């Protein structure tokens, strides 16, 4: 009985090996790219593993995303890369010319990390020490004086909007200044021309008056 079982086991094993040897080989090659519809960037150095024949040598895509390896028909090939979800490709049967070329698309794996805030204190004790020794104004008067300094007012003057009374006050000030302004006639060329004309007219008038009185000049 033992001999019969041993013979059956050998026959089954030999049949399995023969079936494995009879599985056609396929030259599987292609390029690994992203599955994003807007961008078709290649994924360099992606891992290509034959899950059906784990003893076979795994492959890695080059810097342009290209890969090539020898597989069997019906093998399951897994593609993986850092930052992407793994993808599975099953080699079909009866491949034409024993060569298969595909574009393998990997979906990006996005993680939403929690917000991390950096504080200037390394320990809780340092925070307590700085908090207790912090100088803060304890009354409203100190805050008002701080906010009304010359530097603060000059910095905020260009950003604050003007009130309605400000342009009116400026206009009234200009009217008062212009109404009380006295011009210097010595700086007026027309005044000098009028003065010279008056002097000239006065000399002529004196000559006419002297001739009428019988005086000769």
| Token duo for residue 111 | 């993680």
Pairwise CA distance, residues 46 & 106, whole Å: 10
The pLDDT score that the predictor gives to residue 46 is 95
Close Cβ partners of 125 (under 8 Å, ≥ 6 residues apart): none
Residue with tokens 């001999």: 3
Residue 11 CB coordination number (10 Å): 10
The pTM (predicted TM-score) of the whole model is 0.45
CATH architecture of 2-106: Sandwich (2.60)
pLDDT in tens, 149-164: 777 777 777 777 777 7
């Amino acid at each position: 009985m033992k001999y019969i079982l041993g013979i059956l086991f050998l026959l089954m094993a030999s049949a399995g090996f023969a079936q494995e040897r009879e599985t056609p080989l396929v030259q599987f090659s292609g390029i690994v790219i992203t599955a994003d519809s807007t961008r078709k960037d290649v994924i360099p150095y992606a891992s290509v593993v034959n899950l059906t024949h784990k003893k076979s040598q795994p492959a890695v895509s080059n810097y342009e995303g290209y890969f090539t390896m020898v597989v069997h028909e019906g093998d399951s090939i897994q593609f993986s890369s850092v930052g992407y979800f793994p993808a599975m490709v099953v080699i079909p049967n009866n491949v034409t010319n024993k060569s298969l070329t595909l574009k393998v698309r990997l979906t990006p794996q996005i993680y939403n990390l929690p917000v991390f805030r950096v504080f200037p204190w390394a320990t809780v004790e340092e925070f307590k020490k700085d908090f207790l020794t912090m100088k803060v104004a304890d009354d409203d008067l100190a805050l008002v004086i701080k906010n009304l300094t010359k530097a603060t007012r000059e910095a905020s003057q260009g950003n604050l909007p003007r009130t309605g009374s400000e342009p009116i006050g400026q206009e009234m000030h200009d009217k008062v200044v212009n109404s009380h302004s006295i011009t210097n006639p010595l700086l007026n060329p027309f005044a000098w021309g009028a003065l010279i004309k008056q002097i000239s007219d006065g000399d002529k008038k004196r000559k006419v008056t002297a001739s009428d009185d019988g005086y000769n000049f």
